[in-house]
Structure 1
Amino acid sequence: MSTLQVRVARKVSEADGISSFELVAADGAQLPAFEAGAHIDVHLRDGLLRQYSLCNPPQERHRYLIAVLRDPSSRGGSTAMHDEIEAGHLITISAPKNHFPLEPAARSLLFAGGIGVTPILAMAEALAGAGADFEMHYSARTPERAAFLQRIAAAPYAACVHVHYDSGDAAQKLDCAAVLGAPRADTHIYVCGPGGYIDHVLGAAKALGWPAAQVHREYFSAAPVDEAGDTAFDVKLASSGQVFTIPPGRTVVEVLAEHGIDIPVSCEQGVCGTCLTRVTGGVPDHRDVYLTDEERAANDQFTPCCSRSKSAVLSLDL
């Protein structure tokens, strides 16, 4: 995987617990182009690798802008970004990757919850630049915890953005059903934020009859999974016929790595899709938030960083 060396040009406190990082190429060159919805992998200490969405206008090539929420349940990534990365530091990143692209549509509805504003903001920039019809609904707990409010207020598309606060009165809170309304064939929906927020928007869209193909989401982390009932299962490699046992408490990625079989990983939570592996036999126990319901039902691929098996043997195209 190709990597880039970038310098932190600026670090700015954007809201309570949220800092932005402006990244420029260490050699002063232009950065690879990206599209709205894209993210980069940021390499941190001790092998930590974390994904952060790009939130600057996609036409920019002189910088990348990311924003990071200090997560109290951080596994090290957000803490390292907040406490160890400062302006002037050199860091290693990947080229932009996009699992959350804008689809061609006459109209777009954008929903951002908390730090989920980052890819949604880039989408608003892209849509506004193209003269497209869109609405953006940004929900935060309080004004103090909402990032980029000044940037949004000064933007030419400010009238298209509606900000909602959980702490406010009923008029300030997001009425998801009212915003969505009846399904329209010319409209696509995009949502990013905490798991509960995404599930709320997706649930409202499904209840109103919006087709799944017109609803797009990106999770930042997976929901906790009850592992109390986990049992061992075998993984069989299609290329060699080798069989490895995956005990409770271990992942397929971990066990295979111990035997010299490396699967590329990044988030290790079933969020990014980096480790997606084709299944040639057996039934996966899907524990990711990357695959759609339809993709899960097909049972022909799974995320070995977190998912397990419902069958005694799971055959993989490895």
Structure 2
Amino acid sequence: MPTEPALDLVLEKKEALADGVVELTLRSPDGRDLPPWAPGAHIDIVLGDGLVRQYSLCGDPAERSVLQVAVLREPASRGGSAYVHERLAIGDAVEVRGPRNHFALAGARRYIFIAGGIGITPIVPMIAAAAAAGAEWHLFYGGRTRTSMAFADVLEDRHPDNVSIQPQDEAGILDLLEILADPAPDVAVYCCGPEPLLAAVEAECARWPQGALHLERFVAKPGAAEGPSRSFEVELAQSGLTLTVPEHRSILEVVSAAGVDVYSSCQEGTCGTCEVGVLSGTPDHRDSILGPTEREEGQAMMICVSRAVSARLVLDI
């Protein structure tokens, strides 16, 4: 299946940030500027052995000469983090796709940032942007131990009044009931971290105004892709084709088999590469990216996992 055009970069620096966390600095071999990006963006890194992994950008968007990501060495690694930590070396060529952004920083009067472990990475540039804009904000950052928490010291030093660092071995887990006690208007909640934290924040924000909560997942939400599986038709408006999607095949598989080029990557509904516009019909959203408002509007869908409520969808491909 086709993928996005790639950037051929080189690993300029590999630096330990915390226990089990390394920061990668990637640069073009010829020194040219890299694509622009905004806080919340991530890239795909194509690793050896056919692995493709998504990592949040954690540097300065104004610095166009490099892209920076931080990678946690996962104990139960499926191969990606182990490759980065054990095999990727300074000077290696690195293929990158993106950036793309499904976790963009919306305008708000005040921000509540909640990070768990390596989930701090997309939050770092968001904090810089919020501070530069003069917005009110506070970061609540939890982790296993202080030494495992990347960026903790620098954030605490730069913003001592706006940052609460809470290592679990010192002070227990974040008190989300207290942090999210006041569903105030014009307050945006941004959260990234492990699934238990995301699920708990979602539960606490159920009484907040719709659209206040913004989450990012790099692993599919449990049960997100499950549901009844029946056949339906897709009309491809640009290609002039009408195809049948059977019960046990995805839209992406059917469209690609018909010879229509569609970018794709994770095929789990988490990276957003295969997002397409919906011109008519009602999608059955099974991704782990779109928020409630976007799902209700039904103007886009991830065709690697999502299906159809209606008998027919017209897609902008």
Quote the Cα distance in structure 2 between the aligned partners of 1:300 and 1:104.
22
Deviations 1:252-298 (A, max 9, x none): 21232222123211232212322123445654332111111233234
Structure with the bigger RCO (C-alpha within 8 Å, sep 6+) is: 2
Write the mapping of 1:246-257 to structure 2, written as runs, cut at 5 A: 246-248=246-248, 250-257=249-256
Q: Which residue of 2 aligns with 1:193?
A: 193
Relative distance call for 1:233 and 1:86 in structure 2 (3 A) is same
For 1:79, the equivalent position in structure 2 comes to 82
After superposition, the C-alpha distances for 1:16-73 in whole angstroms (9 at most, x for unaligned) are: 4322111222212343443222222223335543321111233333422201123355
More displaced stretch, 50-59 vs 71-80: 71-80
1:90-121 Cα shifts (integer Å, max 9, x gaps): 21223533322222223211111121100101
Paired residue type of 1:261: V
Conservation of the 8 A alpha-carbon contact between 1:238 and 1:315: yes
Q: Which moved more, 1:210-219 or 1:226-235?
A: 226-235
Partner of 1:133: 136
Match of 2:121 in 1: 118
CA contact (8 A) 1:220 1:271 kept: yes
Q: Would the aligned equivalents of 1:57 and 1:126 in 2 still touch at CA under 8 Å? A: no
**Is residue 225–residue 305 contact of structure 2 (8 Å, CA) maintained in 1?**
no
Once residues 160 and 65 of structure 2 are traced to their aligned partners in structure 1, the CA distance between those partners, rounded to angstroms, is 24
Give the unaligned 5+ runs of structure 2. Answer: none
Q: Any gaps of 5 or more consecutive residues in structure 1?
A: none
| Matched residue type, 1:190 | Y
Q: Counterpart of 1:181 in structure 2: which amino acid?
A: A
**CA–CA distance in structure 2, aligned partners of residues 195 and 47 of structure 1:** 26
The farther-off stretch of 193-202 and 25-34 is: 25-34
Q: 1:87 to 1:52 in 2, by over 3 A?
A: same
Q: Secondary structure at the match of 1:297?
A: helix
Confirm whether residue 244 of structure 1 aligns to residue 247 of structure 2: no
How many Å separate the matches in 1 of 2:314 and 2:27? 44
Q: Is the 8 A contact 2:55 2:70 kept in 1?
A: yes
Residues 193 and 220, structure 1, Cα contact 8 Å, conserved in 2: no
Matches within 5 A, 1:263-278: 263-278=262-277
Q: For 1:22, what is the secondary structure of its paired residue?
A: strand
Residues 52 and 21 (structure 1), Cα distance of their counterparts in 2 relative to 1, 3 Å cut: same
Q: 1:190 to 1:310 in 2, by over 3 A?
A: same
Code of the residue aligned with 2:168 in structure 1: it is D
Whether the 8 Å CA contact 1:195–1:222 is kept in 2: the answer is no
Residue 45 of structure 1 pairs with residue 44 of structure 2: no
Q: Is the 8 A contact 2:226 2:286 kept in 1?
A: no
Return the match for 1:99 from 93, 98, 102: 102
C-alpha displacement at 1:247, in angstroms?
4.0
Cα contact 1:54–1:119 (8 A) shared by 2: yes
The structure 1 segments of at least 4 consecutive aligned residues displaced by more than 6 Å after TM superposition are 226-229
Indicate the residue corresponding to 1:221 in structure 2. 219
Q: How many residues are matched? A: 312
Corresponding residue of 1:288: 287
TM-score, with structure 1 as normaliser: 0.85
CA displacement 1:111-165 (0-9 Å, x = unmatched): 11121100101112223344432111111123343222333344x2133111123
**Aligned-residue RMSD, C-alpha:** 2.8
Q: Distance in 1 between matches of 2:53 and 2:90?
A: 19
Trace 1:64-75 onto structure 2 (pairs within 5 A): 64-72=67-75, 74-75=77-78
Counterparts of 1:173 and 1:76 in 2: how far apart (Å)?
A: 29
Quick check: 2:10–2:91 contact (8 Å CA) kept in 1? yes
Amino acid at match of 1:22: T
Larger CA deviation: 131-140 vs 88-97: 88-97
Structure 1 distance, partners of 2:129, 2:226, is 45
What is the SS of the residue equivalent to 1:159?
Answer: coil
SS state at 1:158 partner = coil
Cα distance in 2 for residues equivalent to 1:203 and 1:16: 30
For residue 57 of structure 2, what is the aligned residue in structure 1? 54
**Counterpart-to-counterpart distance in 2, 1:316 and 1:190:** 30
Greater mean alpha carbon deviation, residues 224-233 or residues 274-283: 224-233
